Amino acid sequence: MELKALQDKDIQLVGNWISKPHVFKWLCPGGAQVKEDWLDELKGRSTSHRHFRHFLAYVGDRPIGFCMYYDSFFEKEYILSHYGLEVDKPGQVFEIGYLIGEEKYLNKGYGKRMIVLIEELIKAEGGMLILADPSEENGASVRVLLAAGFQKYKDEDYRKYMIT
């Protein structure tokens, strides 16, 4: 698996994946407006959301999923309200998100591999803590995080401390 930086031409593909039932129910619990918010984030990745890093995950030459991470310093209010954490310096705490868009690649270890690759990028930036907030009902995502070494802090709050 390889991660490649998201390009403008990839946004429609990610939008198609988000619309798939196995993704939409977890990524867009608030409905279609949440999907539009995701797409706006992708479109604003070089302006209003430049602290986000977005990638497509490839197996060979085939894109199979999407992942992202961001420096939590730039989303302080959300991190404080959701995780109860105060982030006072950039480059230390990051949050991740990921999805497998192509159904035939589900339940084959690609989600875990994607997380490992994201961790490598975060570690290279000096990150010390990685956060994730899957729905507790999304058992597959929770299992992937636990298999990747994350620990449950509370519902929808999974953390992994990086060893440098």
For position 32, what pLDDT does the model report?
85
| Integer Cα distance of 49 and 110 in angstroms | 26
pTM for the full model? 0.92
Give the E-state strand segments of the chain in sequence order.
Answer: 2-5, 52-59, 62-71, 93-100, 129-132, 151-154, 157-161
Cβ(75)–Cβ(95) under 8 Å? yes
For position 50, what pLDDT does the model report?
80
- Report CA 87 to chain centroid distance, whole Å: 19
In the predicted structure, residue 42 carries a pLDDT above the cut 90: no
* Domains in the chain with CATH codes: 2-161 (3.40.630.30)
Give the model confidence (pLDDT) of 109-141 as tens digits.
999 999 999 999 999 999 999 999 999 999 999
For position 15, what pLDDT does the model report?
93
With vertex at residue 112, the alpha carbon angle to CA 110 and CA 118, rounded to the nearest 5 degrees, is 100
